[in-house]
């Protein structure tokens, strides 16, 4: 534990952490906040990510293993009063644990590694080959974006790409919705859709756009090969120019009377359909 309990919401360390709620400061400091025991646990499991950890006395008692892990990793642990934690937290009911973390995103070429030509990329077992990628294009809602990131992780995706027109993955709501998955798989940010699509096609991935206007359905498409899914804006989907970039535009079939599926649900259906097809189940 570093020093005595922090009780002043205007102390320099508290102010430095609190300003990370704003994107401009996150970008400047290349740091963000991860709140709650699940996010903190996954952040600590990734070496060198956590810069410092704020905790209340009650959270120390409930999660001694996280305090021990932070201490063992040389991470400063700062005990904060309830008032200070309420000032730092971005939730109505803080859970008493909040980590300041370094940015974790990687360049596009690292998220979707280069391979030796298109045919090599198609061969099963090829080292470094991505087989399932989720691309968020014009996705603005941080809760949806974080949920898609979590779903991609659960479906065994190799990477998630946030295009330059999408929400910041370090937004507090996005980090919480990812439930720690932000720390599990390669994430690239600020990528132009055209560049992302060109890169993935060059690596042998078939690029599918998920859109209600698709002429093909999930039932019609062979998903057994390396695939990248593009998911669009919550309200208006994907613009025509982006649909033209895809190898095929695919819709999720609606068997009942629902008008449509929301973004995160549609992404889950598509990603799991690919994951099952690639595993032959």
Percent of the chain whose pLDDT exceeds 70: 93
Domains 12-102 and 108-278 agree in fold = no
12-102: CATH, from 3.30.1330.30, 3.40.190.10, 3.20.190.10, 3.40.640.10:
3.30.1330.30
User: Closest Cα to residue 182, out of 39, 66, 77?
Assistant: 39
Q: Which two tokens stand for residue 124?
A: 């099963």
Residue tagged 């906040």 (tokens): 33
Query: pLDDT tens for residues 26-63?
Result: 999 999 999 999 999 999 999 999 999 999 999 999 99
Is the CA virtual torsion 10, 16, 19, 21 positive or negative? Answer: negative
pLDDT score, position 160: 97
* Global pTM value: 0.90
- What DSSP assignment string belongs to 84-115? HHHHH-SSSS--SEEEEEE-----HHHHS---
Q: Which two tokens stand for residue 215?
A: 């002429």
**Whole-Å CA distances, 256 to 98, 252, 259, 260, 261:** 43, 12, 9, 10, 11
Within 10 A of 172 (CB to CB), how many other CB atoms are there?
21
Q: Which CATH class is domain 108-278?
A: alpha beta
Within 10 A of 278 (CB to CB), how many other CB atoms are there?
18
User: Closest Cα to residue 232, out of 266, 268, 257?
Assistant: 266
Residue tagged 């973004």 (tokens): 263
Q: Which two tokens stand for residue 144?
A: 């949806």
Residues 6+ apart with CB under 8 A from 54: 6, 17, 78, 79, 80, 84, 85, 88, 97, 98, 99, 100
Whether the CB-CB separation of 223 and 229 falls below 8 Å is answered with: no
Query: pLDDT tens for residues 94-147?
Result: 899 999 999 999 999 999 986 544 344 444 444 457 899 999 999 999 999 999
Query: pLDDT tens for residues 56-76?
Result: 999 999 999 999 999 999 999
Locate the domains of the chain by residue range.
Answer: 12-102, 108-278
Q: Which two tokens stand for residue 209?
A: 């756009």
Whether the CB-CB separation of 17 and 98 falls below 8 Å is answered with: yes
Helical pair 142-154 and 263-278, crossing angle rounded to 10 deg? 10
| Bridge partners (DSSP) listed for residue 210 | 231, 250
H helix runs in the chain, sequence order: 12-18, 23-29, 37-45, 57-62, 64-72, 82-88, 108-111, 117-122, 142-154, 172-178, 193-202, 240-243, 263-278
Query: pLDDT tens for residues 243-271?
Result: 999 999 999 998 998 888 899 999 999 99
Average pLDDT across the chain, whole number: 90
């Amino acid at each position: 534990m570093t020093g005595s309990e922090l009780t002043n919401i205007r102390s320099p360390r508290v102010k430095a952490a609190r300003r990370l709620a704003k994107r401009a400061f996150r970008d400047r400091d290349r740091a963000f906040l991860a709140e709650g025991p699940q996010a903190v646990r996954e952040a600590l499991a990734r070496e060198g990510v956590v810069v410092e950890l704020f905790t209340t006395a009650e959270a120390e008692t409930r999660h001694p293993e996280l305090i021990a892990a932070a201490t063992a990793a040389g991470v400063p642990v700062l005990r904060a009063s309830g008032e200070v934690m309420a000032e730092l937290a971005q939730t109505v009911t803080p859970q008493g644990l909040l980590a300041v973390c370094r940015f974790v995103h990687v360049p596009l070429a690292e998220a979707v590694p280069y391979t030796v030509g298109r045919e090599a990329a198609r061969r099963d077992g090829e080292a470094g080959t991505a087989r399932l990628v989720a691309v968020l294009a014009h996705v603005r809602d941080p809760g949806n974006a974080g949920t898609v990131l979590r779903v991609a992780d659960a479906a065994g995706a190799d990477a998630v790409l946030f295009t330059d027109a999408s929400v910041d993955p370090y937004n507090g709501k996005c980090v919480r919705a990812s439930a720690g998955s932000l720390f599990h798989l390669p994430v690239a940010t600020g990528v132009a859709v055209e560049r992302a699509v060109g890169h993935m096609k060059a690596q042998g991935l078939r690029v599918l756009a998920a859109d209600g206007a698709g002429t093909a359905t999930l039932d019609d498409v062979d998903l057994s090969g390396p695939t990248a899914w593009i998911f669009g804006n919550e309200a208006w989907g994907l613009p025509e120019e982006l649909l033209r970039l895809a190898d095929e535009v695919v819709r999720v079939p609606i068997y009942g009377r629902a008008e449509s599926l929301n973004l995160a649900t549609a992404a889950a259906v598509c990603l799991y359909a690919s994951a099952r097809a690639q595993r032959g189940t």
